[in-house]
Structure 1
Amino acid sequence: MPADRLSVVVTRRLPERVEARMSELFDVKLRNTDAPMTRDELIYAVQSADVLVPTITDPIDAGLLARAGERLKLIAQYGSGVDNVDVATARQRGILVSNTPGASTDDTADMTMALMLAVTRRIPEGLSLMQAGAWDGWSPNAMLGGRISGRRIGILGMGRIGQAVAQRAKAFGMQIHYHNRRPLRAAITEPLEATYHESLDHMVSRMDVISVNCPHTPSTFHLMNARRIALMKPTAVLVNTSRGEVIDENALARALEQGKIAGAGLDVFEHGSDINPKLRETPNTVLLPHMGSATVEGRAEMGEKVIINIKTFADGHRPPDQVVPAAL
């Protein structure tokens, strides 16, 4: 199937350079608004395209895939996470799924550290004080936070991003601990002096910082539930730059409101932009609007990966970033 004849539908506005390159290579229908597609628009897209380029905001579920036309053969996700796509159903219908792994690894790891520092050093509180014109000078006991050097960080999910967080945390002098489905190779963990915890409960109860870096799957839904949050030390901080569904948001809000943990830094939320209002009211909580991968460089790299996946598919080969259900 020649690349210049592929019909490609993009569900959201992408960086201009990415859209320009797609227009050169494919018969592409670009989005003229940054609003997510409606259900009817998504149905029309899967019925009319050879390739769909969705984002994490688009629910590509079994019901939608049941409406897909015979032409649809590739879902080239713009993003590394694919929990919005029913990959198993797509596979059953002969539709390949690809994503963009690695494009946002460094950016997300940087944001994890930024949130950790923002919470422990009370940066938003200091910013608010300055913006309100309420600062009346330096004082030995004013705005005291805590240093992260020497603290223990427990990384929940030691994939690409988790490892990148570990590298940064070690450079800050932190002790690295992690929980994963299985221990990593010594070649990875030895330079980090990382300690593996088979028991998540054991790790959570002993850490100063918990960093959530695992994907959202049925097995990770509410992995940080009320019981596990209660295991955290009262001086501990919880940071999430992965997926909001991994944390029971209501349980976290209660723990923060009651002072059961020291703080939280969140870039993702269980129900998207519908955030528990209690989280907005606690001064020890830093909230960001899903900015982890929001760099010019990262978003352009994601687009390039999408294009490579589509071109490779068009040339009759398996996309290099094809997603396999068994690996999720």
Structure 2
Amino acid sequence: MRLLVTRALTPAVEARVAEEFDTTFRNGAAPMSVEEARAALAEYDALLVTLGDQLRAEAFAPAPRARIVANFGVGYNHIDVAAARAAGVSVTNTPGAVTDATADIAMTLILMSARRAGAGERFLRAGAWTGWTPTQFLGQHVTGKRVGILGMGRIGRAVARRCHYGFGMEVLFHNRSKVAEPGLPAKQVDLDRLLEKCDFVVIAVPASPETHHMIGAAEIAKLQPHAHLINIARGDIVDEAALIAALEAGGIAGAGLDVYEREPFVPPALRARENVTLLPHLGTAALEVRDAMGFMALDNLIAFRDGKAPPNTV
């Protein structure tokens, strides 16, 4: 099988991939365009792709040579899975490997947003700090507050555990289906109640047509003025323009974002705000995690090559 790897991976993963397949490493910093994706699907038997590679419906027409697309990552909203299936192409992802690292980033953003850590660091680096004072950079306490988790899947549960057992937080959550046993003291509520009652709201739902702009102006307006909105899922779940308007109007206290609606573009209005913590999609950016993701993607490819069902077909 001829395999195209669209981005540079960790050395350990690239070495194993090269041993298993006739591999071409694209190694580009930019994601594939739709035109590049169409050409790759026509030339290779398999693709190992990742966030941003534009495998839209038109990339799968005419009928491609490729029979499998292995996604490096748990989110796959950049791939038109229905079009892939119609063209006879299997799609896989890498769930599980990303859970704890992404939950850790959620906690990083909660703490940075509540305690104004980003603004404080910028202040210090600018040479403006003249010493400790009792009222400087007053933020919000995190311990003992109420957190709302939007999406109680693997990552949502991992965030909830950290909040409850690490910081003594009360946990509310909203999920599209009933969760009989969340694994910790937590209460399932409707979305409106979660937004209205929580000090921190963490978005951990998968991106899909149903969750596009799930958090818009009406939903943000339900948040309390002291609330912080944290997004570790996908950028287009939040209406970015509505979030900016709420922040500028003082409707919420702050936001912590690891993902953006039009990555890598981040609106200047967000970059200019001192009450927004912005990270460059660091959710899984740990060597051990990126190795695990790569090996999981490789396991999916090997299983398919050997005539077996890939363990993580979407």
Q: Shorter chain as normaliser: what TM range? A: over 0.9
Q: Which residue of 1 aligns with 2:28?
A: 33
Q: Which residue of 2 aligns with 1:260?
A: 251
In 1, the alpha carbon distance for the partners of 2:285 and 2:170 equals 28
Which structure 1 segments of 5+ residues have no match?
A: 1-5, 324-328
In 2, the alpha carbon distance for the partners of 1:33 and 1:283 equals 33
User: Which range moved further: 274-283 or 248-257?
Assistant: 274-283
Residue 10 to residue 290, structure 1, CA distance change in 2 (3 Å): same
Residue among 278, 283, 287 paired with 1:296? 287
Residue among 193, 197, 203 paired with 1:206? 197
Asked if structure 2 preserves the Cα contact closer than 8 Å seen for 1:253 and 1:276, the reply is no
Instruction: Report the CA distance between 1:216 and its aligned residue.
Output: 0.9
The reply on whether 1:82 has 2:61 as its aligned counterpart is no
Residue among 20, 24, 33 paired with 2:19? 24
In 1, the alpha carbon distance for the partners of 2:30 and 2:130 equals 44
Residue among 226, 231, 238 paired with 1:235? 226
TM-score (norm 1): 0.93
Q: What is the letter of the counterpart of residue 74 of structure 2? A: S
Q: Deviations over 1:267-316 (max 9, x none)?
A: 10111122222111221101111111111111111100011001111111
Residue among 4, 9, 19 paired with 1:9? 4
In 1, the alpha carbon distance for the partners of 2:268 and 2:277 equals 13
In 1, the alpha carbon distance for the partners of 2:167 and 2:280 equals 25
Q: What is the letter of the counterpart of residue 186 of structure 2? A: A
1:54 counterpart SS class = strand
Instruction: Report the CA distance between 1:68 and its aligned residue.
Output: 4.2
Q: What is the letter of the counterpart of residue 85 of structure 2? A: R
User: Which range moved further: 28-37 or 113-122?
Assistant: 28-37
Q: Deviations over 1:211-252 (max 9, x none)?
A: 000011111111111001001000000000100101010000
In 1, the alpha carbon distance for the partners of 2:27 and 2:93 equals 23
Q: Which residue of 2 aligns with 1:185?
A: 180
Asked if structure 1 preserves the Cα contact closer than 8 Å seen for 2:3 and 2:24, the reply is yes
Q: Which residue of 2 aligns with 1:196?
A: 188
In 2, the alpha carbon distance for the partners of 1:266 and 1:35 equals 21
Instruction: Report the CA distance between 1:80 and its aligned residue.
Output: 0.6
Residue 142 to residue 74, structure 1, CA distance change in 2 (3 Å): same
Q: What is the letter of the counterpart of residue 17 of structure 1? A: A
Q: Work out the percentage of aligned pairs sharing the same amino acid.
A: 44
The reply on whether 1:277 has 2:268 as its aligned counterpart is yes
In 2, the alpha carbon distance for the partners of 1:64 and 1:40 equals 7
User: Which range moved further: 163-172 or 134-143?
Assistant: 134-143
Q: What is the letter of the counterpart of residue 144 of structure 1? A: L
Asked if structure 2 preserves the Cα contact closer than 8 Å seen for 1:223 and 1:246, the reply is yes
Q: Which residue of 1 aligns with 2:308?
A: 317
Asked if structure 2 preserves the Cα contact closer than 8 Å seen for 1:12 and 1:37, the reply is no
2:50 counterpart SS class = coil
Residue 48 to residue 33, structure 1, CA distance change in 2 (3 Å): same
Instruction: Report the CA distance between 1:67 and its aligned residue.
Output: 3.1
Instruction: Report the CA distance between 1:51 and its aligned residue.
Output: 0.8
In 1, the alpha carbon distance for the partners of 2:9 and 2:16 equals 11
Which structure 2 segments of 5+ residues have no match?
A: none
Q: Which residue of 2 aligns with 1:146?
A: 140
Q: Deviations over 1:30-65 (max 9, x none)?
A: 114323234433222100111111111111111101
In 2, the alpha carbon distance for the partners of 1:117 and 1:32 equals 35
Q: Which residue of 1 aligns with 2:126?
A: 132
Asked if structure 2 preserves the Cα contact closer than 8 Å seen for 1:46 and 1:67, the reply is no
In 1, the alpha carbon distance for the partners of 2:36 and 2:210 equals 31
Instruction: Report the CA distance between 1:145 and its aligned residue.
Output: 1.2
Q: What is the letter of the counterpart of residue 290 of structure 2? A: R
1:210 counterpart SS class = strand
In 2, the alpha carbon distance for the partners of 1:253 and 1:161 equals 26
Residue 221 to residue 37, structure 1, CA distance change in 2 (3 Å): closer
Residue among 161, 166, 173 paired with 1:167? 161
Q: Which residue of 2 aligns with 1:3?
A: none
Asked if structure 2 preserves the Cα contact closer than 8 Å seen for 1:179 and 1:203, the reply is yes
The reply on whether 1:109 has 2:100 as its aligned counterpart is no
Deviating beyond 4 angstroms after TM superposition, the runs of 4 or more aligned structure 1 residues are: none
